[in-house]
Amino acid sequence: MQYPHPILAREGWPFIGATLAASLLASFFLPLGWSLPLWLITAFVVQFFRDPPRALPARAGAVVAPADGRIVSVERCADPYAQRDALKISVFMNVFNVHSNRSPVDGRVVSVNYFPGRFVNADLDKASLENERNALVIDCGGQLVTTVQVAGLVARRVLCYVRPGDTLQRGQRFGFIRFGSRVDVYLPLHAQPAVSIGEKVRATSTVLALWPQA
């Protein structure tokens, strides 16, 4: 079932409510100079938890970006979750990016595995294997696509809402990472990357890679 994008992510409602209440109370009881920092914090929290709908690209079968951010890795490496060699494309999210995570492909969830770990800077390659993370292996018409949510230096909570056996559609929301993080996508080696390191991408609407037959 598609998440009905309410503009502000449901994960943020408690944080938005708390900071808004604190700002209102400070404005009522304190001078403006004292309450202004709380209003700035409220504005930051609101922008962090925005969750806008996104349009899918017209090209059928294209692998789409699972998150907003910047490409920090396009390389061949081992996929430790599906036990194969793969093409890995990594998206780094800073605290100003939208942090809801979307499925890169249509398919059935084969496995969901959570790994506790460290909280080093998610911009670093070692974060992929050392940080707290949650890995989804998706069967996309007989081809495996692994999507890994990786917590970052500030992120302390990886949220995933799907289970093995669930069916996902491209662009469907499946999780959220709070406060700065990374998403790795492992694709079959014959996939053709459509992005390069340093490029900025948008969840769902940016084509990450193409299948040779697409």
CB contact set of 43 (below 8 Å; sequence gap of 6+): none
Per-residue pLDDT of the chain (214 residues; tens, 9 = 90+): 445 556 788 887 888 899 999 999 988 888 888 889 999 999 988 888 888 888 888 887 799 999 999 999 999 999 999 999 999 999 998 888 888 899 999 999 999 999 886 655 555 566 566 678 899 999 998 899 999 998 866 555 788 999 999 999 999 999 988 766 889 999 999 999 999 999 999 999 999 999 876 4
pLDDT of residue 129: 67
pLDDT of residue 90: 95
This prediction's pTM: 0.83
Distance (Å, rounded) from C-alpha 20 to C-alpha 14? 10
Distance (Å, rounded) from C-alpha 51 to C-alpha 171? 13
Distance (Å, rounded) from C-alpha 82 to C-alpha 187? 10
For helices 32-48 and 13-29, the axis angle rounded to 10 degrees is 170
Q: Which two tokens stand for residue 116?
A: 């506790």
pLDDT of residue 1: 40
Displacement of CA 117 from its chain's centroid (Å): 18
Distance (Å, rounded) from C-alpha 118 to C-alpha 174? 23
Distance (Å, rounded) from C-alpha 111 to C-alpha 107? 12
Q: Which residues are catalytic?
A: 181
Fold of 63-210: Glucose Permease (Domain IIA) (2.70.70)
Q: Which two tokens stand for residue 142?
A: 């007989």
